[in-house]
Structure 1
């Protein structure tokens, strides 16, 4: 996808898709959604990180920066290929508008284990050759990930720094023995990732053939309890017991009086630079296999990041530390060429962040919901946008537009009503039109906003650990009127073919 072209898209995570198996996946619902996007004139489908989920169901604290979520592996293709019997749903079924992870995760893992057994027992010679070839091609991350997952299970899901001493310190003899002892579990995790990779790239190809690009999401940091950290602890600020000495976060601001202490270990950028940022190049290469363009979360951390002492319970006592800057992206571009990156540049943005973003031509982000707290000079007001921008009604971390209207300060609501010429009944379309009619090259709305849903349908509330990442829709919620309106707004703002306006005569 060319980020310099004028286009529009929709933000919807894979897990929010309809489907019978408790959580959205790469199954028929995903292909139907691509067709819906095309019919509405949309050229971008933005998803959230597709890594395995971590604590509180968040993909931003994943066990791997390279692996895909097992929950996203569709079961229908496994049935079609004869590896899995038709799944029998629990007697009470699954909620079609909410992901109940406590019930869904064990049920789906059981289905995947049954499919893996079927594959290794009955899979065709051709399929097994493809599996072996894929595993070899992805061995730079897959081997460590599969062993890591097998060992976590063998250690009762405890974090890797609590494993047996030889294993947590990666003694070669201990690892060689573990490969033999846990061969079956390792084969299972490789099978899951093979299916994730194949299904993800097949969906991407289907979308691309229909003029829709997939926009992924890449978290800047990795989780402490991850295959990445276990494999290369020397690349992070860890002590002799593999505990972080400093962690990631953001300083106090208007949204959090004590800042946000994320807890991710921080990179040893000097050591990564000594290897010409090989780990980052491999990570971006993997992302480009799965998406056409991608957003990097917390982009400002590459210019400078908030370093919090691990002993501090909040982020208040942190300090700003310089990031790798241009050297990182220069190294990646030497290996991979021009990068199709959107920089998440929200929050406290300093001139060095803008300089880094612009040096590589990465568009930043503007959020219409943020526009109404000051005056006409506010950079989030659509009349102040620039072309090299992705304009959003809101992101997954924001309220839905209707939810924002219901909870924002009265002055902001009145300003928005006058600026957009809107009431609560049509505020979602007014914000979409404002983003779409701006000069921003790309405009994106949450699917909840296209449907005009209220705050009960919010995806994530930063700083909280409950009731996030659970939202789903089902097709009865999606009206022809919403699709036609989005198509008309998109065509009228020159982001889709003009004939989609369906004007009389």
Structure 2
């Protein structure tokens, strides 16, 4: 059996990558309401079978979904506030400052200033009612009971963070630096109500999330979620589970995560996340990680496991370093980890994000784990001597992209390619002198990769200004949004072509691909 046939990926299908923050919405950022459903309608009508998103948790400084206050919580920014108006918890007039925010980008500063006041007001009115549920969302008390293992520590964490002026937990008084089940009883007075608010926000978020997921299933669209390999130091995850990480007695990291110099940055990327104590995790049967993945599969149909190579070897950087160049490679948990995952979650469908410097050992681990890897068309030119990202070298057991949330848009990339590569790229993708994403989309859909994913920016054929994230930079990221006008124009102008190509290249995702032929029917 070939390596390409050992993954779970046994149908040909297409997906679209668009983070929730990028969706149309009335209140300054994409949310789980009508804009999300309209987007889902478009995918279903085109025959697209998957919607891929970035992590959905609450973001901190820099607004990156890869630096979260919790890997289990949802981002309250994504709550559809219009539902709270319908439920009588808010007044439309109170949403005016949010409605005035830009529709084509996220202004995180103004969003922060206005959003939390409004959402806090909604909780206060809910609490004053002395009721227990909102229409269609079930019991708040039952939600807290079912999710208490992660929800109560998270709510305590956020309440204390607010109480201590937003400082990281490593700077809190010693008695609050380690979470314990009795923490709620010793919280300073006002923070108990804030903890209840935070729990309520999660109740609303996940109620709306499950409703949207049901809508997606009815439309035949699955959701590909994203699980970052690392968690933030300033997070409820680290605060609650200090033994899982390589921290000193004060909770400060001894070493941190990142990557060496690469395509994105000449000095590497210093992420700053605490690294795992893999020896400790192995002794527990990787219980913390398995619980994390199990929770992800309760929300998504497929997960993309970020920075897969870190399970083989990871870049260890001294916590005092100013950039990533002084790091060293260390061995990760390897196949033992994936064996434990397979035993605990035998039906898990995982995509390995195997980008960056990938040697044969990483490929061997991915194949042994039975996971499809990723191929990026933009990476086929200018820096990959082995050409593994050229479409004619793809293998069926892979997931193909033009670019991801970390890449330039296809149009922006085409407009910036060096002159010595421009003619080669023009010939390969049959651009005929144009700088449009759509010839690249056709090639992407035609590849043998079982799953092909297009970013929403490329469907809209947008220039570099629509890039969602520029790795190695701290400002101006995660802001791009599309509008209902753009969504409707895409439906009018491009939907027939996209639907035809999905049919032409057999990407309806409705039957398993087999590696044999049968006699023709008589």
TM-score higher than 0.5: yes
Shift of 1:411: 2.1
Is this contact kept in 2: 1:402–1:455, CA < 8 A?
yes
Between the two proteins, the alignment pairs up a number of residues equal to: 498
**Root-mean-square deviation (CA), in Å?**
2.1
Q: How does 1:325-344 map to 2 (within 5 A)?
A: 325-344=334-353
Equivalent residues of 1:147, 1:179 under 8 A apart: no
In structure 2, the partner of 1:90 is: 97
| More RCO (CA 8 Å, sep 6+) | 2
Are residue 68 (structure 1) and residue 80 (structure 2) matched?
A: no
> C-alpha separation between the residues in 2 aligned to 1:471 and 1:383?
32
Name the structure 2 match of 1:99: 106
Runs of 5+ consecutive residues of structure 1 not aligned to the other structure: 499-505
TM-score by length of 2: 0.91
Alignment match of 1:404 (pick from 369, 394, 413): 413
Partner-residue secondary structure (3-state), 1:305: strand
1:237 aligned partner = 246
Q: 1:431 aligns with which of 413, 421, 440?
A: 440
Q: Deviation of residue 316 (structure 1)?
A: 1.4
Deviation string 1:399-427 (CA, Å, 9 cap, x unpaired) is 00000011121122221101111145353
**How far did 1:125 drift?**
4.4
2:237 is equivalent to residue 225 of structure 1:
no
For 1:72 and 1:424, locate their aligned partners in 2 and report how far apart those are by CA, in whole Å.
41
Note closer, same or farther for the CA distance 1:332–1:140 as it changes in structure 2 (3 Å cut): farther
Counterpart in 2 of 1:278?
Answer: 287
Q: 2:388, 2:343 → 1: CA distance? A: 33
Matches within 5 A, 1:29-428: 29-86=35-92, 87-90=94-97, 93-122=100-129, 124-125=131-132, 127=134, 130-170=139-179, 176-178=185-187, 182-373=191-382, 378-423=387-432, 425=434, 427-428=436-437
Contact 1:303 1:352 in 2 (8 A): yes
Label 1:460 to 1:23 Cα distance change in 2 as closer, same or farther (>3 A). same
SS of equivalent residue, structure 2 residue 77: helix
TM-score where L is the length of structure 1: 0.94
Distance 1:355 1:380 in 2: 18
The aligned counterpart of 2:23 is 17
CA–CA distance in structure 2, aligned partners of residues 173 and 126 of structure 1: 26
Distance 1:475 1:287 in 2: 29
Q: Report the counterpart of residue 497 of structure 2 in structure 1.
A: 485
Q: CA, structure 1 residues 88+314, in 2 after alignment: closer, same or farther (shift >3 Å)?
A: closer
Answer yes or no: is the 8 Å Cα contact 1:83–1:122 preserved in 2.
no
Deviations 1:242-288 (CA, angstroms, capped at 9, x unpaired): 21111101112344222211111100011111111111111111111
**Unmatched runs of 5 consecutive residues or more in structure 2:** 1-6, 511-522
Partners of 1:367 and 1:380 within 8 A in 2 = yes
Give CA deviations for 1:209-265 in whole Å, capped at 9, x if unaligned. 111001111111011111111112222111122211111011123442222111111
Using a 3 Å threshold, how does the CA distance of structure 1 residues 370 and 322 change in structure 2: closer, same or farther?
same
Cα pair 1:402 1:424 within 8 Å, conserved = no
Distance 1:274 1:375 in 2: 39
Report the Cα distance in structure 2 between the residues aligned to 1:83 and 1:414, rounded to whole angstroms. 59
Moved over 3 A (4+): 123-129, 169-175, 374-377, 423-427
